Amino acid sequence: MRFDILTIFPELFASPFEEGILRRARSNGKIRIRLHNIRDFAVDRHRMTDDRPFGGGPGMVMKPEPLTAALDAVQAEDEPGRVVLLSPRGVPYNQRIAERFAGCGRLVLVCGRYEGVDERVSRSRIDEEISIGDYILTGGEIGAMVIVDSVTRLLPGVLGSDESAESDSFSRGLLKHPQYTRPRIFQDMEVPEILLSGDHAKIEEYRLVESVRVTLKRRPELLDHVQFSARERKLLRRAGLLSAKGWADAD
């Protein structure tokens, strides 16, 4: 899969893409990442990529000419990719969107800056706008890193045999169950006995219950969209998490 990232600060991406799974995925040819400096497409000698907004107001707006020229040049290099603008007004990013993006052969990620980009670029060149959360960052670069990371780990052959995207938090819409490792006793706190039993069926049941318990306590709205089998619902009722009237108190 190919990622093209349009930014005025390409240096920000040097370290994140040279570590861990992303480095391995690049080395193995699973992904290609190309960085494009929007300033290289500026039309004036000062390489300006922003200007004051018409109508007045604070801040600056990304100019249409450099960004449009950059997008046109990048799209012409290969089969056109899906163009995503990182923007606070975008659709909230989630696992379902990550899975959809993983099915694309190419993503073109535009890192917004300042007060945003000229609306004429959004209308003519952007396929969708994405936000990684209800807060404001200095630019879309961190959001682009989030998308590259979350999409890459879903691609076939990226994760090793001891790693699994299917068991991640949000893969089913639930938060991750508690995890434990050695030592068995740490500061008088013991690992739950069931995890040492070797009974894999019981362990999976335990993990489901604990995953639901954590989700119910921290993100209860997620449970509105999760489907449970009859066996799972029976298990959750037995654990006191599900009553005839709905979800119980996680505590």
**What whole-number distance in Å separates Cα of residue 134 and Cα of residue 235?**
35
Q: Does one domain contain both 88 and 6?
A: yes
In the chain, what is the straight-line distance between the N-terminal and C-terminal CA atoms, in Å?
A: 44
Q: Does one domain contain both 127 and 191?
A: no
* Structure confidence by residue, pLDDT tens digits, 129-179: 999 999 999 999 999 999 999 999 999 999 975 556 766 667 788 999 999
Mean pLDDT of 32-49: 94
| CATH number (domain holding residue 230) | 1.10.1270.20
Q: Which of 153, 172, 205, 213 is catalytic?
A: 153
Is residue 88 flagged as an active site residue? yes
Shortest CA distance to 54 belongs to which of 115, 145, 142, 133?
115
Is residue 129 flagged as an active site residue? no
Residue 77 lies in a domain: yes
Residue 148 has a pLDDT of: 98
Is residue 188 flagged as an active site residue? no
Mean pLDDT of 202-221: 96
Residue 170 has a pLDDT of: 72
Q: Does one domain contain both 199 and 126?
A: no
Mean pLDDT of 68-97: 97
Q: Which spans in the chain are helix H?
A: 20-27, 64-75, 95-102, 119-125, 141-152, 200-218, 230-238
Please give the model's pTM, rounded to 2 decimal places: 0.90
Q: How many domains does the chain have?
A: 2
Residue 82 lies in a domain: yes
Q: Which of 115, 128, 149, 232 is catalytic?
A: 115
Is residue 115 flagged as an active site residue? yes
Q: Does one domain contain both 92 and 30?
A: yes
Q: Which of 16, 47, 88, 232 is catalytic?
A: 88
| CATH number (domain holding residue 82) | 3.40.1280.10
pLDDT greater than 90 at residue 196 = yes
- Residue 239's domain comprises 185-247
Alpha carbon of residue 184 to chain centroid: 33
**pLDDT, mean over the chain:** 94
Residue 168 has a pLDDT of: 66
* Percentage, residues of the chain above pLDDT 90: 90
Q: Which of 39, 168, 207, 232 is catalytic?
A: 168
Residue 163 has a pLDDT of: 59
Q: Does one domain contain both 20 and 144?
A: yes
**What whole-number distance in Å separates Cα of residue 136 and Cα of residue 199?**
47
Residue 175 lies in a domain: no
Mean pLDDT of 24-39: 97
Q: How confident is the model at residue 16 (pLDDT cuts 50, 70, 90)?
A: very high
Domain final position from 131, 152, 173:
152
Contacts of residue 73, Cβ cutoff 8 Å, sequence gap at least 6? 36, 41
Mean pLDDT of 190-216: 97
Residue 237 lies in a domain: yes
